[in-house]
Amino acid sequence: MMELFLCSRQGRLFLMTSSASSDWLSLSETADLLGVHPSTVRLWSDKGALPVHRTQGGHRRYKRSEVELWARTTRPQSTIEPISVMQTAFRSIRMRIAEGHLEAQSWYQKLDQEARDQYRQSSRVLFQSLMNYLASESDDATSEAHSIGYEYASRAHRFGLNSADAARAFLFFRDALLQSVIQAYQEANVPSGQAWGEILRKVNAFTDLVLLNLIETFESLDHTSTR
């Protein structure tokens, strides 16, 4: 299948087909060439450090000669792996929850032990889904976000929370997640700028979709139960 690439040369844009050049690499192929995780390649690209091009469909493509030159001349000597940073963030989330922050929440005080256990486990599901989204090339998180939103809504409805408390419960975990990601990136000395803007944009985009699906699902469950 022929693929079109939107490239630039001397300030002018032009299209190139995959058959016109055989050294275009995908994100994963570039990661294999450099010996790093794909999320690291994405981070370098978002920071403007590694040359990157876009296909008409918006996918990243890398020119082998540019990647090899960059690796020889300007590649960072110390690699910060976003996956490692995110694992640090997850440990921070667990600490935030373990420090008694949950027990202080009014919605949490309304729950029995079974419900509390399920909400504690929900942070892992939310984090893993976010990781899957960040590691993917696509900006489409609709399916994953719908699943998480449905889970939060149905759990809240099942355990007798109202819609406001259902939203508060999700926002508690969303804010803990966001604070943990920011703290992890700060501790890893990742410079702020375009890379930070991109990671925060994707976190907010994903969690906003979850919240919207949570509200819509809760309203649907409420409407069904009152029939």
> Chain-wide mean pLDDT for the chain?
79
CB 54 within 8 A of CB 6: yes
pLDDT at 222: 83
pLDDT band at 11 (very low <50, low <70, confident <90, very high): very low
- Whether residue 16 has pLDDT greater than 70: no
pLDDT digits (tens, 9 = 90+) for 73-97: 877 655 555 566 667 777 777 777 7
Mean pLDDT for the stretch of residues 129-146:
76
Give the chain's count of helices (H) and strands (E): 9, 5
pLDDT band at 195 (very low <50, low <70, confident <90, very high): low
Q: 60 or 181: whose pLDDT is higher? A: 60
- DSSP category for residue 53: E
Please give the backbone phi and psi of residue 83, each rounded to the nearest 5 degrees, phi first. Answer: -65, -40
Domains of the chain in start order, with CATH, are: 4-73 (1.10.1660.10), 82-225 (1.10.490)
Pick from 47-51, 119-123, 169-173, 222-226: least confident: 222-226
- Whether residue 101 has pLDDT greater than 70: yes
CB 218 within 8 A of CB 157: yes
pLDDT digits (tens, 9 = 90+) for 24-34: 899 888 888 88
Tokens of 126: 């939310």
- Whether residue 110 has pLDDT greater than 90: yes
pLDDT at 113: 93
> Amino acid letter at 135?
A
pLDDT at 81: 56
**Can you tell me the distance from the alpha carbon of 91 to that of 104, in angstroms, rounded to the nearest whole number?**
20
Mean pLDDT for the stretch of residues 45-73:
87
Question: Given CA atoms 94, 100, 104, 107 in this order, what sign does their dihedral have?
Answer: positive
pLDDT digits (tens, 9 = 90+) for 146-187: 999 999 999 999 999 999 999 999 999 998 888 887 777 776
pLDDT at 213: 95
Identify each DSSP E strand in 48-163 by its residue range: 53-55, 60-63
pLDDT at 8: 44
CB 173 within 8 A of CB 94: no
